[in-house]
Amino acid sequence: MRFIVTIYILFLSAFSVAQVDEFAVMGGGAYYLGDLNPYKHFNNYRYSFGGLYRYSFKNKQVVLRANLMYGKVEASGSGNAISNLSFRSTILEIGPILEINYMPYEIGSKKTKGTPYLFFGITYFKMNPQSKRNGDWVSLQTLGTEGQGSSQNPNKNYKSAQISLPVGLGVKVNLNKRFALNLEYGIRKTFTDYLDDVSGTYVDLNQLEIENGKLAAELSGGNDIVGLQRGNSKFKDWYSFYGLILSFRILPESECRTNFGRR
């Protein structure tokens, strides 16, 4: 966490001494891949939205971007052991991203009106996996549904704040001198298997209720299946944000004078 915060502070400091090239807003969808949805992209997609700043270097092909995104993901189990498990989670993501334009590009350019691009970065995100009980959504992270912190599982509760590695691609197209529209898809590799609160094995329900409480036992999804695999800890969870980005170019002072004149 300290590492990503340090990177982000340095990134924002760079903006404070340089012209911010673009401000943009994004809206679209989000989904997750993990133990409850291992293979199906765009399955159970929910909404996402966010904002970003872009600063283009002189060659117009390398772009630094400050990213802030919010979205929701959800899934239900489909296997024999996890068919009774389901979850939803909000995701708040913040961090720096580097974009590489295929061609030199800027909003308003008559020479290059659009370009494909790739991006990658390192971001900090916060999750909140929940499950429904009696019509109400209950947060799972502190419960220890796999016996975390008990005699059955000495591991501590997983952290709700994590690091992810975004990678993706998109297309930028100019609308006019000040606005552009982007279509973007990005997927994030995480280093946690608990975005869905599922990773290890089922534990004894009676002992779980004694040590971690009734809620933990009820929402663990277990029955008489102690030791059966609940998830696969070898494969970490992923999540995706995708959608449309509307970008607004902030003109340099010299260009503003040329376009609008002095009064």
pLDDT digits (tens, 9 = 90+) for 10-27: 555 555 444 558 999 999
Give the structural domain span for 20: 2-260
Model confidence over 157-168: pLDDT tens digits? Answer: 999 999 999 999
Please state, in angstroms and rounded to a whole number, the distance separating the CA atoms of residues 260 and 263: 9
Could you tell me the sign of the dihedral formed by the alpha carbons of 186, 108, 248, 46, in that order?
negative
Q: What pLDDT score was predicted for residue 170?
A: 98
Q: What pLDDT score was predicted for residue 166?
A: 98
Structurally, the chain folds into a number of domains equal to: 1
Tokens of 96: 């720096």
For the question of whether the overall pTM of this predicted structure is more than 0.75, the answer is: yes
Q: What is the mean pLDDT of residues 67-73?
A: 97
Q: What is the mean pLDDT of residues 232-247?
A: 95
Using CA atoms of 132, 137, 143, 148 in order, give the dihedral in degrees to the nearest 10. Answer: 50
Residue 43 phi/psi, 5-degree rounding, is: -80, 135
Which CATH number is 31's domain given?
2.40.160.20
Is residue 48 a contact partner of residue 27, using CB atoms and an 8 Å limit?
Answer: yes
Q: What is the mean pLDDT of residues 230-256?
A: 85
- Say whether pLDDT at 262 is over 50: no
**Percent of the chain clearing pLDDT 90 (strictly above):** 68
**Stretch among 82-86, 92-96, 235-239, 258-262 having the lowest mean pLDDT:** 258-262
Q: Token pair 């975005």 is at which residue?
A: 195
**Stretch among 9-18, 197-206, 237-246 having the lowest mean pLDDT:** 9-18
Q: What pLDDT score was predicted for residue 253?
A: 52
Please state, in angstroms and rounded to a whole number, the distance separating the CA atoms of residues 219 and 134: 11
- Say whether pLDDT at 256 is over 70: no
